Structures are given as C-alpha cells and as structure tokens.
Chains A and B, each alone.
Chain A
Amino acid sequence: MANLIDIKGVSHAYRTKSGPLPVLDNLNIAVPEGEFAAVVGPSGCGKSTLTRLVAGLMKPDSGEVWLHGERVTSPRKTVGMAFQNPVLLEWRTIVDNVILPLEIVAPRMPQARRVERALHLLDMVGLSGFESKRPSELSGGMRQRASLCRAIVHRPDVLIMDEPFGALDNFTREDLWQTMRDLRAAEPFTCVLITHDLRESVFLGDQVFVLSGRPARTQMVLKVDLPADRKLDVLYEPRAQQMLHTLRDQIRIAQGRDGELH
C-alpha cells in the first residue's frame, strides 16, 4: 500500500508487420504518494508507452497498473499530462487553454472560478500578463509553462510528463526545472517524468528509474538523497556528481555498450 503508482510486472508488445515488437518486459515501478519519479533510458526503449499505460490510454498485454489502490483499465479524470510538444490550442487564449481540463472534469464549475484558478497558476509560473495572448505569440519556454499549468489545473493525483523540456535550450530548461520544483512545493502531486536528461532526473527526482534497452525492464533504481528545496548549484556538488556518474554508467549498460568504452 502507500504507493500511489504501482506498476507490477508489466509487459507489452506492439504488433508490427515483421511480428511482435516487445517494448516492455516485466517492468516494475512503484512511486509513493507525493514523490517524484524520473524515468531514464536509451532512445526507443518504451518510455512513452509507459506514460500511455499510466494514463490508462492503453492496456498492457500482461501485468497490472495501479493508481491510488485502483487498477487502471481506462482513462481517469485524476491524471494530468504534458508532452515535449506543448500542444496548446492555437484558437484559444493562454488562460482558455489552461482551463480546458476543467471543462471536461468539472463541467459545473463556474467560469469565474476556473479563470481564477488558471490565473493563479499562470502567476506561479511567471506568465501573469500573458493570459490573453495566443500561444503563437509566446516563446517555446513560455508555451511549455502554460502547458504545465494546464496539466495540473484540475489538481490531478498524478502528473505524467513525457520529455516536457526536451525541445528547450539549456538555460530555459533549467528555469523550468526550478518552476517545476516550486509548483510541487505549492501543489503536491505525484509525478512521473520521462526524460533523456540525467541532470534533470537528479535535480527533479526523488527516485530515478533506469530502464534497460528494448524491451525495457527496470534495470536500476537510484534514490536521490538531496533536500526537497534543492538549488541548481546542488548539481555541481560531489554527491550529485556521483549520482550522475552512476546513472551514466547504467545508461551505457542499458545501451549494451558495456565493454566498448572501457
């Protein structure tokens, strides 16, 4: 119990022309309530499949996905999602984009309260003053901030993020890490972050799950023993550097290039 997300022995294969393509193989991930799980692994190892499983958008061939003590078999209203592409709706203003999930989840909520909630979040991510702009008028980083607001506007239990900062430049990305940290402090939610960026996984994660190459298994779980209100500088300290080293080695093993570089 106590685990908000429990992925138990999940295996999945896609049917392709040249036979089944296994992407997940007996995958186990457990995330306690309120914790932040970062998932890293080589390209194409099935990380995006994992997000769709947790969101209930697809069912695994075998194994079980549990959220809040309930088995996930279909989409639930208590999930928020953010992708690398911010997928904002170009015909809506920023604030109208943010309230979109509320229109689905809370159809009876008065519009004024929706807007109030959205404006509060936009303020927290530094977008106040941009609420009536169109997405096309904003920079990539700002669009991703708005996308984060939309993902948590309905106070989901679980926030699922699939490389949300992957398309941003380094400095913008680091800004967004800190925004993410502040959002979590203000609005507790359990989080699964799929990423390619090891520094990101250490800065944001409470645990880092390293997946093996395809088909993905849980190859290693790293507990990140850093304070919750960490600053960016922490990444340059020896203990963080040590973790990054460990992760890098694990990725190398996952890629199947163990002997190659030694």
Chain B
Amino acid sequence: METLQKIAVPLVAVVLFLAAWEALVWVNNWPNYKMASPSDLPPAFWRFRWLFLEMGWQTLWRTVLGLGLAVVVGTLIGMVMGFSRIARDGLYPLLVGFNAIPKATLVPVISLIFIGQHDFNTVLMAFLISFFPIAVSVGIGLSTLEPEYRDILRSLGASRLTIFRKIALPKTLPEFFGALKVSVTLAFIGTNLVEIVAPHGRGLGALFKSGETNGDYPLMFAVLIALAALGILLYYAVLVLERIFAGWAERPQG
C-alpha cells in the first residue's frame, strides 16, 4: 500500500501536469512555432533519437566530471577554510565575489582563453559554477565542530589528520550532501550554458540551439524534457550516495 502510494502519487502528478500543458495549448489553439504540446514530443524524440543519445551522453559525462572536480577542489578549499582562520578571512570575500559573477558572462572569457577546447571549457564551467556551495558547507561544518569532539581524540595524542578522518570528515557529511544536491543542479546549468552559448558546441545545449536555429519548437521542448530527466537522474544518484554514506543522519520519522 505504502509503496504503491509512493509510486502512484508522483506519477499522477506528472500525468496531471502533462494534461494541463496539452490542454493549455489546445484551448489557446497555439501553433507549433509558439508553443509545443506534449503530444508533439514523442515524434521529436523519435526523429532525433540517436542525436539525443549522443548529445545526452556528452552533457552527462561533462556534468559529472565537472561536479567531481567541484567535490575534490571544493572539499579542499572547505578544509583550508575550516582549519585556518586566516585562510577563511582571506578566501571568503574572494569566493563570495566570484560566486556573485553571473557565470554566463564567463563563457566568452573562457572560450577566448581556451579556444576550441569545447570539452575542457564545458567541464571547467560546470566545475566553476558548482564548487562554491561545497566549499562553504565543508568549511562551516569543520569550523563549527564542537571542541569536545576534538578534545576526546586530542587528549589521547591523536594527530590532526586522524581527528579529521575519524571525526570531522564524517560529521560534515550531511552538510556536504546538502550542498552536493544544490551543486549537481548548478553543474548541469554550467554545462548547458557553454553548450548553448559557445559556437560549434556539442551536447544537449547545442541540440537545443540547433532546434532554435531551425525553428523546430518540438525539438527544443523535447531537449528541455531530456534535460529535466537527466537532472532528476543525477539528483537521485546523489540521494542514493547520501543514503549510503550519511544515512545515519536521517532520523526515523513518526
């Protein structure tokens, strides 16, 4: 019963959403070049099925690679900020300032610096846009560690590295995964930004762009749906990882 509900409720919600969308287009009698309806999408998907697979894969691996870089670098920056006050005071304004720059403005800059390196540029942007939440959450998690936790091991003569490995790192995991859920969406935005804006791009963003160039609205909407599907896939992948590594932080409900 409960599992049925768990599957049925989101499913019904999706169906209702699609029905409302279809109805909106029908009632207003909008032509295809104004707004595509859900019933236009399956033919679009079918027509470009190989392109979708190829481009979807491109977008996916760049996003995941960029996010992976963000996890490594973001965690390192967070560690430095969490352990050293001076580093925190020095890095914070830089990071906040960098984060405030709309990343779309960086695309031409990056494209100019690394001309023609489309894969590299895309991964770089996915990384740049997504490391900030991870760095901040790891930094805050480490710097707010209650001193008693540290004292328990420090009084036994444990090294800083041991304290980090045994206590600080696992204790920060719930915050880390909270940030990762934000970052995974951001990385996705970063990838698509470059794919859409950069000339001669590849990936789903480029497919979207070509739909726009050719006035193929059903294709553009189909790309949006594919992006949403990939986004959901990545988000739930993070959820699964969180269950495995930080499941202890989840309180039983009720």
Contact = CB atoms under 8 A, between A and B. Distances in A.
Contact of A75 (B157, B167, B248): B157
Interface string A69-83: 000001111011101
A134 B248 contact: yes
B154 A103 contact: no
B251 interface: yes
B155 A57 contact: yes
Interface in A20-63: 52, 55-57
Contacts of B158: 104
A81 B251 contact: no
Interface residues of A, number: 27
B170 A75 contact: no
Nearest to A79: B155
Contacts, number: 60
A116 interface: no
Interface string B231-254: 000000000000000101101000
Interface in B123-180: 146, 148-149, 151-158, 162, 166-167, 170-171, 173
Given A90-B248, A100-B152, A77 B157 contact: yes
A91 B170 contact: yes
Contacts of A55: 151, 155
A135 to B, nearest CB: 9
B153 A90 contact: no
A246 interface: no
Contact of B146 (A87, A100, A150, A160): A87
B181 to A, nearest CB: 19
A154 B152 CA distance: 13
Contacts of A91: 170-171, 173, 246, 248-249
State the 3 A-B residue pairs at the shortest beta-carbon distance, nearest first: A55-B155, A91-B248, A87-B148
Given A75-B154, A87-B152, A154-B156, 14 more contacts: A57-B155, A79-B155, A80-B155, A83-B148, A87-B148, A89-B167, A89-B171, A90-B249, A91-B170, A91-B171, A91-B249, A101-B152, A104-B157, A160-B155
17 contacts: A52-B151, A57-B151, A74-B157, A75-B156, A75-B157, A77-B157, A81-B151, A83-B151, A87-B149, A89-B167, A89-B170, A91-B170, A91-B246, A91-B249, A100-B152, A101-B156, A104-B158
